[in-house]
A and B are shown apart, each in its own frame.
Chain A
């Protein structure tokens, strides 16, 4: 359950922002999670309320925007969409894929009062 550690890291970012942008309540935290990152969005949603309890984001909603995975196929020289790391190229079946996108784990924006 490293999603707990990730939620704690999100709260640290939110608290840092609160110090210099002077807001006192967070309504929604928007995060972007890539399909190939090592995050299970459901697990993150599950532990978020417990981790934020008693912090500035107490009661805030967590909105997860999932980003697709993309790779460059070295065999057929094209960019392809992949949902899992163990996927073969959907065009030619090769496993010679270089991941180009989908590893993101970003705090995108905050809705605050």
Chain B
């Protein structure tokens, strides 16, 4: 009920303008709308997009440097780098010959869909290729922000302790793949792989798991096979969308 709204902005004595307005809107609806636009754009370009998330120091950039330099022999690969400050990560990616755009979030602790849309416009065409978005190193905030990616990949290193999935459940719940990096250090750290997987699947029974070492290259062939598989799923959804 609207008791007192008046276009002249006048207040009538004894009548309150106070009223209740129903909204029922998702707090992140604007981000989600831009993410949907990004996703449509990526589909139209037949571009496979992954959102890489992890705590700081899990090895996202090192694994990307290796993966990008190997994957780009066959198809276009680009990277969007998110960090609070510096362009160090973009420089490391560009050294492989692949294009990389750095986003500095300043005070913000995560990338959002609008930042990715802007950065994407500055990349050269990547049709039929792969775009990696390296999110800000933070296992909390990026979990809730859809960027338009095909899926999230959570990177986690053996030095971080087996119970990380229990401590930061939102991120493991939001991710399709858990990449366990620095697996070459597992014997020194007495890292318990089975326990880690058990914890991760308590949070997300469907999460897939691969072990890699960005330093030695161990496990990357399986990662590329997984990416090819995602590409096949992705093409099916492109075909479905066009039908």
Partner of A1, one of B25, B109, B201: B109
For chain A, the count of residues having a C-beta within 8 Å of the partner chain is 36
B116 part of interface (Cβ distance < 8 Å):
no
Are the CB atoms of B202 and A88 closer together than 8 Å? yes
Task: Kindly list chain A residues whose C-beta atoms are within 8 Å of the C-beta of B29.
Answer: 9, 13
Are the CB atoms of A6 and B202 closer together than 8 Å? no
Assembled-state Cα–Cα distance A74/B201 (Å): 14
Shortest B116–chain A CB gap in Å is: 15
Report the tally of A-B residue pairs with Cβ distances under 8 A.
97
Assembled-state Cα–Cα distance A29/B123 (Å): 40
Partner of B23, one of A1, A84, A110: A110
Chain-A contact segment, one of B76-84, B125-133, B139-147, B154-162: B139-147
B 18-39 binary contact with A (CB < 8 Å = 1; else 0):
1111111111111100000000
B118 part of interface (Cβ distance < 8 Å):
no
A 92-113 binary contact with B (CB < 8 Å = 1; else 0):
0001111100000111111111
Are the CB atoms of A31 and B27 closer together than 8 Å? yes
Q: Decide: A24 near B9, CB < 8 A? Known: A2-B140, A17-B21, A113-B17.
A: yes
Task: Kindly list chain A residues whose C-beta atoms are within 8 Å of the C-beta of B173.
Answer: 85, 99
Task: Kindly list chain A residues whose C-beta atoms are within 8 Å of the C-beta of B57.
Answer: none
Query: Measuring CB to CB, which residues of chain A are less than 8 angstroms from any residue of chain B?
Result: 1-2, 5-6, 9-10, 12-13, 17, 21-24, 27, 31, 37-38, 74, 84-86, 88, 95-99, 105-113
